[in-house]
Structure formats: structure tokens, C-alpha cells
Structure 1
Amino acid sequence: MRDENEMLRLAFEACPAAMLLIDGAGRIELANGESERMFGFGPSELTGQSVENLLPANLRAAHRHHRAGFAAAPAKRQMGTGRDLVALRRDGSEFFIEVGLTPIDTALGAKVVAFAIDVGARRDADHALRRALGELETANGNLARFAYVASHDIQEPLRKISAFADILNAAMTKDDLDEARYAADVMASSARHARRLVADLLAYARAAHQSPAVEPVSIKAALERALEALSLTIAETKAEIAWTGEDFSVEADRPQLHQLLQNILSNALKYHKSNLPPQVTLHLEPGKAENHLTIADRGIGFASADAEAIFEPFRRLHGRGDYPGTGIGLAICKTVAQRHGWRLSAISTPTVGSAFEIVFPVAAGAGRGAEL
């Protein structure tokens, strides 16, 4: 008997997984060194404890029920096909384990050999892989839609340039200066639009693929810089800009943050009512877990059904003749926000106005002391 016990002990210690011998009452009779390391106990400290002590308190009653069911109909469960359980370390921290159970009959009664491995790292890797696959699938879908729409929008000014080049040649042949000037003006306008389109496409590509170089940035300073860049438009439209709330700092790629803010502010200035100057309110709201920035206007607004569609590339709710632009600005904003882990959303009511909200999760150790 002593020889058998010694062999059993050596087999337990040789196992690279955590290994426990549990009696019919759920008491641990034997634990190897790996189980003591995994659960944070010292040598022999697990012996005599209830196996439920290795589970969070809220799971112990259910586990006792499952253990009773297993005892009534014991069956071997292979490692890798067992149950994922949340286990409890001695220090109170929780982690995921995978278990395998083998019932054995001994001269002292029925017992269970339990094998356990920490699968936390594997679960994290699986979740990361599934998340990456989901993002890849979304990116591929966006790329296909983007390529189709981009090719259509780029072809439009090129078709105009080609068509009006023929008109220009015909006008020059007839010495029709008015027709020639008209054709040249259309070609120049189309060329400018194509150039803006290409520039916005490059900006969108950079926002989607360039890793942000983050640093602490004052949101108020970033807004002031964006407003300075739009100062001519503000002056021409006699726009009214109001501020509320307190400044806070965000971890951001400074140029990308400025571009995001400038694009949203530009929209607020552009889509104003024809009989009123633009009215824009900037509300800054610092918080413990999240900081909020809301850019609200009293412009023409849009239907709530379009609240997601407006962030799609080339999605325009109005004709270019009414409101110029390429339809990429808000798509760039959404991409910048996603790359930084921010949440960007919009709510709007037609003829009443729109509000764009950006939620910035607060980084550990971040405070209100922003760097300019």
C-alpha cells in the first residue's frame, strides 16, 4: 500500500497540469505542485480543503450540485472536452480553467482525479483572433464598397473634363470665345473637384492605415486650432460660436484629432439655414471614466434614419450644387475615432439642427491638466 501511494504521488508530481485527487465528499486528498502554483497555495495547503474553495463564492452551490450529479453517474471526461470554469486563486483573483475528470475506485471508496489547465491566455488569443477576423471582414466589405463608389465619383469629373475638352476644341475652331471660356471654366472646376477628391481619399487612407502617434492634447486647444483654420468661413458666414463646460486632455494623434474636429465644425458651418448665420455650440464635459465633447448646430439637420449612413464614404444627403464637398469628411472622422478607441455618433432633427458627440475613454493616470 505504501508503494502504491508513493507511485501515485510521483505520478501526480510528474504531471505538467494541475492535478487533484478528490474524495466523495469533495475534499482534496492530494494536490501536485502545479496545482499549488496555479491556485497560489503553498505545499500541502490544499490538502483537506473543499474543492469548492477553488471556485468563486457565487458558483459553489451550483458546483456542489454538478458534483453530486457526476458522482451518481461517473464518466471519464477527456482533457480539452470538459467544462470551462472560472476558478479562484488564493489572492481572490479569478481566471479561466479547463478541467478533465476521471472517476476511480479505490479500496477506500470512489474518488475523482481532476486535471486542470489555465486557459486564460488561450481564450484571450481566441477572442483576439475572432475580433481581428471580424474587423478584417468588415474592412474587406468597406474596401469593396469604397472602391466601387470611389471609382464612380472619380470618373465624374474626368468625364466632364473629357467632354468639355471636345467642346473647347470646337469653340476654338469656330472662334467662339464665350463657349470656349465656358468650357474652360467647367474643366477647371472639374479638375479642382478631382483634386479635392484625391486629397480626401489620401486623408481617408492615412486615417484608416496609419498608426496614431498619441500624446496628451488639450481638447480646447485642438478646437481653437480647428476654428482658426476655418476663420475665413466663420467671418464670411458671420457664424456664432458658443462654448460651455471645462477643458480636458485626450490621448490623441494631434493632426488626426485636428482633422476630425475641423471636419465636423466645417459641416456645422456649411449646413446652416439660408436665412440665418451658423450657430454652433461646443460643450466640453470631463468625467472620471469618460470625457465628452458635443458639437451642436442649429442648421438644416437630417433624418434620424441617416445617423449612421452619414459616416459612410461618399454618402451625400444633398446635391453638390447645393452644398459642395466630396462626401468623405465624416467618413474620415469615423475612421479616426475608431482608430483611437473613441465613440463618435450623431443625432439630428430636420430643420432643427444636429449634434455630434465624441466620447473619449479616460486613460489611466490622465487628468484635467492638458498639454497645449
Structure 2
Amino acid sequence: MANPSETSNEMLRLAFEASPAAMFMVDQDGRIELVNAQCEGTFGYARGEMIGMSVETLAPAGLRSRHRHLRADFAANPSKRLMGVGRDLRAVRRDGSEFPVEIGLTPVATPLGPRVVAFAVDITARLLVEESLRNSLAELERANESLSRFAYVASHDIQEPLRKISAFADILNTAMAEGDAEESRYAAEVMAASAQHARHIVADVLALARSLNSAYALETFALRETIRTVLDSLSQTILEERADVAVIGEDFSLQGDRSQATQMVQNLVSNALKYHKPGTPPRVRIVLKGGEGEHSLAIEDEGIGFAATHRDEIFEPFRRLNDRGDFPGTGIGLAICKTIASRHGWRLSATSTPTVGSTFEIVFPKAFSGQNESARKRL
């Protein structure tokens, strides 16, 4: 018949060994005496390597001296403790890499004297989930704020051409009743132009909605090929404006939705062609820059520019800095660009000086990937 004490010890050993957390026992001198299987996966050491190792080896180099003092304080006042909750507590693997942990300490009395049983849990995955949730919540709050502002501005902008159509319909009826052909023709022209403007607004609103909600078809593509497609599409405008457009820099690849990336680049180049100084042909430079950590694309022009205080609001839907009579458009193009960039995990920003010109830059983190994991989930 099995000895109850031996059975109990065996059960404790099995529980210690089967724990999903890394568990180890430390003696009074801070030497590791016992480890379980999970320690190998958590810290990267073979089990035999950890026996006899100073527990300070598992702490970041800059904190080891402090850890010795904390261990001495614990020995003077031993009690069950959970450490790392709500704090940036870190441990070190065999390869020198650090990772966030939560650690529990339990003092135990053994025939060989007092010992401490510690467990360590790698909380990297949990912190990533928490960060993702925070980012998602922040995005939702921004989206709700943008939606509220968008609904107000959209209703205001689309009412303008509708009011004109209604007003000039009355004028047209009066002119026709009076047989005034010239007034009738003028009213009809205004109504047609207003209807066309309303149509453009609706089309751009639908384009913005697609950029916000449509599923993306991910593929790897060369950026220069995208730029070539854009310039072919804008060739007539470039010819009519007598624009000087140059593409500079080495090609690189992106991963994303090719059609959405094309639309983003086309909107930016179209803006550079549109907002040129009166009487001066547009001069646009499309600059590709490579880097070890990230690549970038810059659209540089020598146009009318804008004040630095407007560099964020220009990406808001329907936000216009110039009179529609001078520069036609609905003010949604840059909002679409910002949405496309954000969903891919790319960074779009603008810098400008009035009368000197503007630069719109897209930064693509993690060269050749075009997006991080959180961005991939948004797509």
C-alpha cells in the first residue's frame, strides 16, 4: 500500500510539472533548485541549465541589483504576493530578449529551510489583445465623431444644389409662362449644373463609403506600376495643363488593395495638378524613397499651398479651403485618401507653405509588407 506522504508528494510534483505557468523554486541565496517543463518554453533554457542559476539572471540587466534588494526584503517579510499586475514588469530569455510578465511568489517551509516557489506568466499575447482593443475603441470613437460631423456637412452640402434646383424651377416656370426664352434657358442651365454638382457629391459620398467599408483584395504589387496607371489615366489633364510631372526614386513593392492604392495616388496627383498658381503650369514631383524599416511616397507640387494650421482638417470630408468657382470639386478626395491609408496601416500626412507648394507623404511601415497585423484585421 502506498505511503500517504509519498502519494501526496507525487501529486504535488505532478501538479508542479503540469502547470501552464513557468514555475521554479529558489533557495535562500537566490539559486534556482527546481524548475518545471514550462520554464523551458518561457525562458528558453534547457531545464538542466537553470538548476543552480541565480534567479537574477532572469531579470533585465539594469534591474538585477535592485532585484537582490527586493529579494532580501521578501525574505525578511515572506508572504504570498502577485507582482506585475498593472506594472511594466519584465523578464529576460536565454537569447537576451525581454518580455512582459506577471509573477507570483509563495514562501514555503521545507526540511532544507525556507524556500520561495515562483510562477511566471508571459503576458505578451494578452497585452497585444488589450492594445488591439484600445486601438479599436479609439478608432470607433473617431469614426463616430467623424460620422456625426460628416452627416452634418454632407446634408448641408447636398442641400445647396437642391435648393438651387428648387428655386430655379420656379424661375423657369415663370419665364416659360411669360415666354422669356433667355431667362428660361439660363434657369435650365443653372438647374442642370446644380443637378450635376449633386450627382458628383453623391458619387463621392459613395466612394468614401466604399473606402470605409468595402472588403479589400490583398495582393503584392509594384508602386511604380501603380503610378504609371495613374499618370496614364490623367494624361489628358497633364496635356491640357502643360504640366511638368516627374517620377523620382527606386521602385518598391507593397501589399494591399491595388485598386484602392491606385485611387489614393490618383487623388493626390489630381490635387497637385489642380491647385497650381494661375497662369503657371503645374510642376509635380512623385518621389519614392526606400528605407530599412519603412518606405515612403511623396507627391510634391509648387502650387498655391495652404496654411500649416489646415494640415489636419484638409482630410475631413467636404472640407474646402478655396472657393468652388476657382477650384471645382466636392472636398471628399483627400478624406478618401486618408481612409484608404489608415485601413492599410499606412501614414498619410501633409505639409505646405502658402504660394510655395505642398507635399503629401505616405509612409509604408515594414518594408514590402505594407501593413501591420492590426491593419490586416481592419481590412
**So what's the TM-score if we normalise by structure 1?**
0.89
1:165 aligns with 169
Give the deviation of 1:134 after TM superposition: 1.3
1:315-368 Cα offsets, whole Å, 9 max, x none, are 1001111211000001111111111221211111111111111222344589xx
Amino acid at match of 2:15: A
SS in 1 for 2:89: strand
SS in 1 for 2:29: coil
SS in 1 for 2:115: strand
1:219 aligns with 223
d(CA) in 2 for partners of 1:85, 1:77: 14
Q: Identity across aligned pairs (percent)?
A: 58
1:11 aligns with 12
1:197-238 Cα offsets, whole Å, 9 max, x none, are 111111111111223223232322222221222222222221
Q: Please say if residues 212 and 339 of structure 1, whose CA atoms lie closer than 8 Å, have aligned partners that are also in contact.
A: no
What pairs with 1:178-197 in structure 2 (closer than 5 Å)? 178-197=182-201
1:65 aligns with 69
1:168-218 Cα offsets, whole Å, 9 max, x none, are 111111111111111111111111111111111111111112232232323
Give the deviation of 1:162 after TM superposition: 1.3
Q: 1:82 to 1:145 in 2, by over 3 A?
A: closer
Q: 1:281 to 1:68 in 2, by over 3 A?
A: same
Give the deviation of 1:44 after TM superposition: 4.8
d(CA) in 1 for partners of 2:41, 2:183: 87
d(CA) in 2 for partners of 1:141, 1:73: 52
What pairs with 1:97-176 in structure 2 (closer than 5 Å)? 97-106=101-110, 108-176=112-180
d(CA) in 2 for partners of 1:70, 1:82: 20
What pairs with 1:22-61 in structure 2 (closer than 5 Å)? 22-61=26-65
Q: Which aligned runs of 4 or more in structure 1 are off by greater than 6 angstroms?
A: 2-6
1:284-336 Cα offsets, whole Å, 9 max, x none, are 22233222222111111100111111111111001111211000001111111
1:266 aligns with 270
Q: 1:255 to 1:49 in 2, by over 3 A?
A: same
1:370 aligns with none
SS in 1 for 2:324: coil
Q: Please say if residues 168 and 184 of structure 1, whose CA atoms lie closer than 8 Å, have aligned partners that are also in contact.
A: yes
1:344 aligns with 348
SS in 2 for 1:287: coil
1:312 aligns with 316
Q: Please say if residues 252 and 340 of structure 1, whose CA atoms lie closer than 8 Å, have aligned partners that are also in contact.
A: yes
d(CA) in 2 for partners of 1:39, 1:58: 18
1:369 aligns with none
d(CA) in 1 for partners of 2:64, 2:83: 22
Q: Please say if residues 92 and 99 of structure 2, whose CA atoms lie closer than 8 Å, have aligned partners that are also in contact.
A: yes
Q: Please say if residues 82 and 100 of structure 1, whose CA atoms lie closer than 8 Å, have aligned partners that are also in contact.
A: no
SS in 2 for 1:168: helix
**How many residues get paired?**
365
Amino acid at match of 1:224: R
2:296 aligns with 292
2:373 aligns with none
1:96 aligns with 100
1:354 aligns with 358
Of residues 221, 228, 232 in structure 1, which corresponds to 2:232? 228
d(CA) in 1 for partners of 2:64, 2:5: 33
Unaligned segments of structure 2, at least 5 residues: 371-379
Q: Please say if residues 19 and 114 of structure 1, whose CA atoms lie closer than 8 Å, have aligned partners that are also in contact.
A: yes
d(CA) in 2 for partners of 1:83, 1:275: 62
d(CA) in 1 for partners of 2:32, 2:256: 52
Q: Please say if residues 82 and 102 of structure 2, whose CA atoms lie closer than 8 Å, have aligned partners that are also in contact.
A: no
Q: 1:33 to 1:3 in 2, by over 3 A?
A: farther
SS in 1 for 2:358: strand
Unaligned segments of structure 1, at least 5 residues: 367-372
Q: 1:222 to 1:365 in 2, by over 3 A?
A: closer
Of residues 177, 181, 199 in structure 2, which corresponds to 1:177? 181
1:88-108 Cα offsets, whole Å, 9 max, x none, are 334544433211112234454
SS in 2 for 1:326: coil
SS in 2 for 1:299: coil
